[in-house]
Amino acid sequence: MESTARDESRFLKACRMEPVDCTPVWFMRQAGRYLPEYRELRKSHTLLDLCRNPDLAAEVTLQPIRRFDLDAAIIFADILLPLEGMGVAFEFAKGEGPVIHRPLRSPGDVKTLRLMEPAEELSFVLDAIRVVRRELSSSIALIGFAGAPFTLASYMIEGGRSRAFQEAKLFMYSEPGAWHELMVKLATITVAYLAAQIEAGAQAVQLFDSWVGCLGPEDYEQYVLPYSQSIFERLDRYEVPLIHFGTGTATLLDLMKKAGGTVIGLDFRVRLGEAWQNLGRDVAIQGNLDPIAMLGPQDLLRGKVLDVLSEAASQRGHIFNLGHGILPQTPIENVSAVVNWVHQESRRVDDVQDEL
C-alpha cells in the first residue's frame, strides 16, 4: 500500500476518488513571492521573463517542491499569457497587478481579437512542463492551468483587477452578441492551450474562473456556463482530472459542476462538508482553507486545518488547498506546518475510522 502510494501520486488518486493513504495537499500560487528564492529570482527577472524562459519557469515551479512535502506542482505561468497573441497588450504594474493598456470596450474591439495558437505562441509554457516532468518524481503530479473565459474577459474589459466588475458585466448585458463572440474565441483558445499542456505532460489541469463569483446564478447560467462547459466537454477525451475553480461561488457551485470538472475547487466562504453534500459525492473537492489564516498564529491555523479535514470527513476525493492563492506575506514555517498537519491528521482520522 505504502509503495503504491509512493509510485503514483496520491493527488491524482484523490482526483479520481480512489483511496489514498492520506489527504493530498498543494497550494494555489505555491510558487511565488512568499519564497525567498523566488524573490531572489525576481530581482533580475520580471514575472513575464520567468514565464517565457522554460528553464526559469521550471525552476520556479520546483522551488516549493524542494521545500515542502507537497503532492502536486503547478506549472509557473500566468492566466493572462494568451492575451498578447490575441492582440491585447498588458504588463504587470508594480503592486497593482495586471494592466491592460487598451481594454475592450466595443463589439468592434472583439472582432479584431486574433485566435492565437497556444501550441506555437505559448510553446515556452509547454517546454517548461516538459522540463518539470523530467525533474519531478512520479509521486508528485504536475498540474497545468488556464484562465476561464469569463475571468479572462473580465480582465480584458476592465483593464485590470476590479471590485465590482462593472464594465465587464455592463458589456455582457449591453452587447450580448459581442459577448458571445468573445467567449467563443476565449473558449477555443483555452481548449487548445489546455490540450497542449496535457500533451506536453500536465497530468491534471485547472480552469481558473477566479472572478466569476461576481455574478448571480442566472447570469452565470446565461453568459458563462455554455462556454466553460464546451471547454470541459472537449477536454474529456484526455481522461485527466479537470479542476474547476472560482471564488465567491457559493451560489454557483451546482452550475459549475454542470459546466464540468472532475474536481470542484471551493473557496473558504463555504462549509466544505455542506457544499460537497449539496454537489453530490460523485465529484472530488479541492479546498478550502482561508489564505489569510496562513498568516495567523499556529494554534489558530492548526484549528482551521483540522476544521477543513473534519468537514471532508475522510471522504474519498478530497484534495486540501487554500480557498485562493497563497499570500506573499505567508511565513514559510506555516506552509510547512500545514502540509505536515494535513498528511498526519488525515492519516489519523482514517485510522480512527478503521477502528470504529
Q: Are 228 and 259 in contact (CB under 8 A)?
A: yes
Figure out which of the listed residues 5, 119, 279, 295 binds its own copies, where binding follows CB under 8 A.
295
Among 55, 112, 216, 281, interactor with its own copies by CB under 8 A: 216
Among 41, 292, 306, 337, binds its own copies (CB under 8 A): 292
Q: CA nearest 325: which of 2, 33, 5, 7? A: 33
The reply on whether position 254 binds its own copies by CB under 8 A is: no
Asked if 297 is part of the footprint of its own copies (rule: CB under 8 A), the reply reads yes
Q: Which of 46, 138, 251, 277 binds its own copies (CB under 8 A)?
A: 251
Tell how strand 97-100 and strand 90-93 pair up. Answer: antiparallel
By beta-carbon proximity to its own copies, the closer residue of 48 and 327 is 327
Residues 172-211 that bind its own copies (CB under 8 A): 173-174
Q: Which listed residue (307, 331, 337, 350) binds its own copies by CB under 8 A?
A: 307
Is there binding between residue 222 and its own copies (CB under 8 A)?
no
Candidate list 101, 163, 333, 356; residue touching its own copies; CB under 8 A: 163
The SS3 call for residue 160 is strand
Q: Which is nearer to its own copies, 292 or 337 (CB)?
A: 292
Residues 118-157 that bind its own copies (CB under 8 A): none
Cα(148)–Cα(152) distance, rounded to whole angstroms? 6
Interface region with its own copies, contact rule CB under 8 A, candidates 30-38, 140-148, 152-160, 212-220: 212-220
Burial class, 97, CB count within 10 angstroms (exposed 0-12 / middle 13-18 / buried 19+): exposed
How far, CA to CA in Å, does 323 sit from each of 27, 28, 59, 95, 265? 9, 8, 25, 22, 8
Alpha helices in 31-175 (DSSP H): 36-44, 47-52, 54-67, 81-86, 107-111, 118-121, 123-135, 149-158, 166-174
Q: Strand 204-209 and strand 242-246: pairing? A: parallel
| Residue of 82, 144, 213, 261 interacting with its own copies (CB under 8 A) | 213
Task: List, in order, residues 6 or more apart from 299 with CB less than 8 Å away.
Answer: none
| Of the residues 34, 268, 320, 341, which one makes contact with its own copies according to CB under 8 A | 268
Residue with cell 482514517: 350
89 contributes a contact to its own copies by CB under 8 A: no
3-class DSSP state of 186: helix
Q: How far apart are CA 186 and CA 340, in angstroms?
A: 39
Considering the complex, state which of residue 67 and residue 257 has its C-beta at the smaller distance from its own copies. Answer: 257
Nearest distance from C-beta of residue 30 to its own copies, angstroms: 18
Half-sphere exposure of 218 (CA within 13 A, CB side): 1
Q: How far apart are the first and last CA of the chain?
A: 21
Residue 157 near residue 171 (C-beta atoms within 8 A): yes
Interface map 313-342 toward its own copies (x if CB under 8 A): --------------x-x-------------
CB of 90 to its own copies, least distance (A): 19
CB of 338 to its own copies, least distance (A): 14
Report in angstroms how near the CB of residue 173 gets to its own copies at its nearest.
4
Cβ-based nearer residue to its own copies, 61 or 330: 330
Residues that are catalytic: 29, 33, 42, 78, 155
Q: Please report how close the Cβ of residue 330 comes to its own copies at its closest, in angstroms.
A: 11
Which of 46, 106, 138, 166 touches its own copies (CB under 8 A)?
A: 166
How many binding residues for its own copies (CB under 8 A)?
32
Nearest Cα neighbor of 168 from 221, 104, 85, 88 is: 104
Q: Report the interface residues with its own copies, using CB under 8 A.
A: 161, 163-166, 169-170, 173-174, 213, 215-219, 248, 250-251, 268-271, 290, 292-293, 295-297, 300, 307, 327, 329
